[in-house]
Amino acid sequence: MTKIHVTSEINGDEVEFLTEPNVSLLNALRDEVGLTGVKEGCGTGDCGACSVLLNDELNAACLVFAPEADGAEILTVEGLSDGDHLHPLQQCFLEGAALQCGICTPGFLVAAKALLDKNPDPTETEIRYALAGNLCRCTGYDKIIRAVQDAAAQMQEA
């Protein structure tokens, strides 16, 4: 046998995939499961483009071994929206022009969701530190921070 069989709940669906022991979850999600919304910017946990929730905790998928996903719940950017109904973060990123090239956007959305799950009403400073693991080279972060603030406010009202 050359592959490991892994069963996970990914974005709400039971998903089975094959992998090798020393492959990262990032590579498995992209290459085996086809979730290319999970981006690779560095492969060393320094950019956050591959952010996913693993059992509700924020992780860089490039720092996780794929077999660790066996029996785990995973959320990627592809699972953020509810059908064609965008998550408030997605909507606020769009309306607030919080993306330019868009390569970092999936990671920011997942990391911001992790933040708001734990802290529904974060301060600007809390948002900035919570998202410090996600690099963006286009925006200077200004509009990203504002979009998260807007989404938090909307979700508080809802």
Partner 1 sequence: MALAEDTNPMQGFKWVGSRPIRPDGFDKVTGRAKFGADLVLPGMLTGAVLRSPHAHAEIVSIDTSDAEAMPGVKSVVTGADFPEPYGKPAEQDVQRNVMAREKALYEGHVIAAVAALTREQARAALGAIKVTYKVLPHVMNVTEAMADSAVVIHDNMITKNVDPAPEAPSNVASRTVFDGGELDKGFAEADVVVEREFTTKPVHQGYIEPHAAVADTTPDGRSTVWCSSQGHFAMRTYTSNVLGWDASRLKVIPAEIGGGFGGKTVIYLEPLAVRLSQKAGRPVRIVMDRDEVFRASGPTSGASLRVKIGAKNDGTITAADVWMAFEAGAFAGSPVGAASMTALAPYKLENFKIEGFDVVVNKPKVAAYRAPGAPISSFGVESVLDEVATKVGMDPIDFRMHNAVEQGDTATYGPKFPVIGFKETLQAIKDHPNYTAELGPNQGRGVASGFWFNAGMNSTATVNINDDGTATVVTGSPDIGGSRASMALMAAEELGIDVVSIKPVVADTETVGFNDVTGGSRVTLATGAAVVEACRIIVADLKARAAKGWDIEADQVEWVDGRAQPIDGSQPAVSLAELAKNWGRTGGPISATYSHNARGVGAAFSTQVCDLEVDPDTGRVTVLRYLTAQDAGRAIHPSYVEGQLQGGVAQGIGWALNEEYIHNDDGVMENPGFLDYRIPVASDLPMIDTVIVEVPNPAHPYGVRGVGEVGIVPPLAAVANAVAAAADRRITDLPLSPVRILDAILNSED
Partner 2 sequence: MGCWTVTRGLNTLKYFSPSTVEEAVEVLAAEPGAQVFAGATDVVPQIRSGKPEPESLVDLKKIDRLVSVADAGDKWVIGAAAPASHLTANADLVAEFPGMVEAAGLIGSDQVQSRSSLGGNLCNASPAADSVPGMVVNGARAVIAGSGGTRTVPVEDVPQGPGKTSLAPGEFVVEIEVDHRPANTGDAYLRLIPRTEMDIAVVGVGARVTLDDAGNCTSATIALGAVAPTVVRVPDAENALAGSAIDDTALDAVAAAASAACNPIDDKRGTIAYRQHVAGVLTRRAVAIAAERARNGGAS
Q: Which residues bind partner 2 (CB under 8 A)?
A: 1-4, 20-22, 24, 43-46, 48, 51, 54, 57-60, 62-65, 67-68, 70, 111, 114-115, 129-130, 132-134
Distance CA 19, CA 32 (A): 8
The token duo for 97 is 């022009």
The token duo for 24 is 């990262």
Give the residue with the Cβ less far from partner 2, 65 or 100: 65
User: Tell me, what amino acid is at 31?
Assistant: D
Give the residue with the Cβ less far from partner 1, 57 or 95: 95
Distance CA 155, CA 158 (A): 5
Q: Which of 130, 105, 86 is nearest to 37 (CA)?
A: 105
Catalog residues that contact partner 1 under the rule CB under 8 A: 27, 30, 34-44, 46-47, 49, 76-78, 80-81, 86, 90, 93-97, 99-106, 109, 124-125, 127-129, 131-146
Given partner 2, partner 1, none, residue 115, with its beta carbon under 5 to 8 Å by kind, binds partner 2
Given partner 1, partner 2, none, residue 28, with its beta carbon under 5 to 8 Å by kind, binds none
DSSP 99: -
